[in-house]
Each structure stands twice: as C-alpha cells, then as structure tokens.
Amino acid sequence: MKYLFAAVMLASAVVGFSEAASAAGGCGPGWYRGAYGGCRPMRGPVVVRPGPIVVAPAPVVVVPRARVCPYGFRWYAGRCRPF
C-alpha cells in the first residue's frame, strides 16, 4: 500500500510541474520573463497582423413611451398607485 501511495504522489507531482512549465511564465505566447520579473517580447521574425476592425455603431432610436397610468398616479411595484 505504501508503494501505491508513493507512486500516486510521484505521478501527481510530475503532472503538476508539467502544467506549470507550459504556462510560459504567465506572460503569454511570444513573451518571456525578464531579469527583474517583467514580461519581455521575444526577438524573432516580425509577424504582420491586420489592423483593428472598426464597426460603425448602429443608430439609436428613442421612442416616447405611452402613459401607462392616469394623471395623479404613478407606476410603482407593478401597478398604478396615487402620488
């Protein structure tokens, strides 16, 4: 039983360290950790990326709402109530 427990602990440690190594230092693809802990870009071939896509906003149409309650009343808590 001790050998089985030791084998499971060893396997979990190996899996845990392999996941941390694939995180690229937390900086993301194309970046690495510098001497003082900051993220630095990797020097390599320049990749040309397309510019940002700008989409014109849709026009906003405001329609006045019809009066729900008669004068002297207001809509509150799901029904017309007097002021």
pTM higher than 0.85, yes or no?
no
Q: What is the mean pLDDT of residues 46-68?
A: 76
Kindly indicate the confidence band of residue 20, based on its pLDDT and cuts at 50, 70 and 90: very low
pLDDT over 60 at 37, yes or no: yes
The closest alpha carbon to 23, from 35, 37, 33, belongs to 33
